[in-house]
């Protein structure tokens, strides 16, 4: 029997009323396992109203008490991590170890948010003027929202609502309709942790729900992660309706490989960062840039057998390197990019298009693919493929290699592999990309730093999580206070105040 999801509004499961649904697949078998209701504008509005009702209560709690709820939530997620990982893998297709990592990276932001009493502190200046003190305070915005992608259904919701709710806001999450189970379960656990009903709401849906969020006058801020085209739409629409918006888009992450690099380590890192989670990561390495043709030839020689021997299997197989892609449509899109790469003249070293897994012929599997001699003018180089496809674009020297990610339309992540500290330092300073790894293939910052790309990888001026996340979900109020001695009056003044 096909399961039917609900919305989670005001602490209760609420049946969808639109009559419109999206199918949730089991990517391993290709079968429909559930249906997601697509919310109407009125249903989104009911979630906003539930969040508004509880906002005065939640925001007035002192930050220590909000932190205690976050601590309780952290413990509950840890207790239920295996359930969450199996739930995630069953809908997304990533292997169980990767699903546990998805949950854990989200928990790291929850741990950071547990420090909200310190993070919300303002500034104070005593005697800024005669008898005058100036101080600032951080206050929550109100009702805020997050629109999250299919590829990290645990991590990215927790990145968003962890900081937002700890800061005193109430939250509406619109998860991907492809794998909504984990965000729904997280909302249940948050209620169990002691949060008042309505602090965290989950509304499933498609573009109608997204537009309702972007246009609702009582939603003060929206955080988004997804494709660049939709990120730009979310940013322009949300800001046009007076909201703060941070919208993270696509990526084309390069790995620059210098001749002095530890090539054994490089190959291991490229295999893991290029093919892990079937390449469905915005921080996946999708372009390897060996410096010199000699290094390129050696890199291809080493990579070919590793790519050919990748174990593609169901997510429950403990030996699997990666599992299926999330949907049939997405698999066909990735295959079309491989077809295009061949047509454009790139050298197809390993072809994963015809991969079939015995017993799971209807699953959304795709074998690992490797291209060599990819050129910057190729569409497959310019676009984000978002699948198990690694491209090699050779460079003659350091300057050419460093220019490739800097000139690309995307600027999410980049890595350099070298033993030369001067080259690494020069690269980190020069490259026009938001997150840089030095001998680190996937440079996702820790929770107390901040995540965000440049150029068409991000729209908006404030990054996610870390102190930037606290700033995004709060507003500053500055107070100037005067306490005259002995009740002495100074009379009216018609000039602008100064602190002389």
If one counts every other C-beta atom within 10 angstroms of the C-beta of residue 60, the result is: 9
Q: Is 401 helix (H, G, I), strand (E, B) or coil?
A: helix
- d(C-alpha 391, C-alpha 393), whole Å: 6
3-state secondary structure 158-178: HHHHHHHHHCCCEEEEECCCC
Task: Give helix then strand counts, H and E, for the chain.
Answer: 16, 23
- d(C-alpha 325, C-alpha 114), whole Å: 34
Among 50, 88, 195, 282, the one annotated catalytic: 282
Q: Sign of the C-alpha dihedral, residues 230, 233, 235, 237?
A: negative
* Closest to 464 (Cα-Cα) out of 477, 440, 443, 448: 448
The pair of three-digit structure tokens given for residue 61, joined into one six-digit string:
């709690």
**Catalytic-residue membership of 282:** yes
Q: Is 292 helix (H, G, I), strand (E, B) or coil?
A: coil
The pair of three-digit structure tokens given for residue 394, joined into one six-digit string:
């050779």
CB-based contact 89:97 (threshold 8 Å): no
Place of tokens 């976050």: 70
CB-based contact 436:443 (threshold 8 Å): yes
The pair of three-digit structure tokens given for residue 260, joined into one six-digit string:
């002095």
Report the alpha-carbon angle 219-225-226, nearest 5: 120
Helix (H) or strand (E) run with residue 290 in it: strand 285-290
- Polymer length in residues for the chain: 500
CB-based contact 389:369 (threshold 8 Å): yes
- d(C-alpha 388, C-alpha 334), whole Å: 8
The pair of three-digit structure tokens given for residue 182, joined into one six-digit string:
């984990």
For 157, phi then psi, to 5°, come to -55, -40
Active site residue ranges: 282
């Amino acid at each position: 029997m096909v399961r039917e999801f609900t919305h989670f509004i005001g602490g209760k499961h609420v049946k969808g009323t639109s009559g419109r649904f999206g199918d949730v697949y089991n990517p391993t078998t290709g079968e429909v396992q559930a249906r997601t209701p697509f919310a109407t504008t009125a249903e989104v509005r009911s979630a906003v109203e539930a969040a508004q009702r509880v906002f005065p209560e939640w925001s007035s709690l002192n930050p220590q008490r909000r932190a205690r709820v976050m601590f309780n939530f952290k413990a509950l997620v840890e207790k239920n991590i295996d359930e969450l990982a199996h739930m995630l893998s069953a809908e997304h297709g990533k292997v169980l170890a990767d699903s546990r990592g998805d949950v854990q990276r989200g928990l790291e932001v929850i741990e950071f948010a547990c420090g909200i009493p310190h993070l919300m502190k303002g500034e104070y200046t005593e005697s800024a003027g005669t008898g005058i003190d100036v101080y600032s305070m951080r206050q929550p915005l109100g009702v805020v929202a997050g629109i999250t992608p299919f590829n990290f259904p645990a991590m990215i919701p927790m990145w968003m609502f962890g900081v937002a709710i700890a800061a005193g806001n109430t939250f509406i999450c619109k998860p991907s309709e492809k794998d909504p189970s984990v965000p729904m379960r997280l909302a249940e656990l948050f209620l169990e942790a002691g949060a008042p009903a309505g602090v965290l709401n989950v509304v499933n849906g498609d573009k109608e729900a997204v537009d309702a969020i972007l246009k609702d006058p009582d939603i003060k801020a929206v955080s988004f992660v997804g494709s660049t085209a939709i990120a730009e739409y979310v940013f322009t629409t949300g800001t046009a309706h007076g909201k703060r918006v941070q919208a993270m888009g696509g990526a084309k992450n390069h790995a620059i490989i210098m001749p002095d690099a530890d090539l054994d380590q490089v190959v291991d890192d490229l295999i893991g960062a290029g093919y892990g989670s079937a390449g469905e990561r915005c921080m996946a390495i999708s372009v390897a840039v060996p410096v010199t043709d000699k290094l390129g030839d050696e890199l291809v020689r080493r990579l070919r057998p590793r790519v050919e021997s990748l174990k593609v299997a169901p997510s429950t197989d403990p030996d699997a390197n990666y599992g299926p892609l999330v949907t049939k449509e997405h698999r066909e899109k990735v295959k079309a990019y491989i077809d295009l790469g061949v047509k454009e003249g790139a050298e197809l070293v390993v072809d994963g298009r015809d991969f079939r897994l015995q017993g799971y012929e209807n699953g959304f599997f795709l074998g690992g693919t490797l291209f060599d001699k990819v050129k910057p003018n190729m569409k497959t180089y310019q676009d984000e493929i978002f699948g198990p496809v690694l491209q090699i674009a050779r460079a003659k020297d350091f300057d050419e290699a460093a220019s490739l990610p800097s000139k690309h339309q995307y600027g999410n992540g980049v890595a350099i592999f070298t033993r030369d500290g001067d080259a690494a330092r020069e690269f980190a300073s020069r490259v026009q990309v938001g997150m840089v790894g030095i001998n680190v293939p996937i440079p996702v910052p820790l929770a107390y730093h901040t995540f965000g790309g440049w150029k068409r990888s991000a729209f908006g001026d404030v990054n996610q999580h870390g102190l930037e996340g606290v700033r995004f979900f709060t507003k500053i109020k500055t107070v100037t206070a005067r306490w005259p001695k002995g009740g002495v009056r100074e009379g009216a003044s018609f000039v602008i105040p100064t602190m002389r």
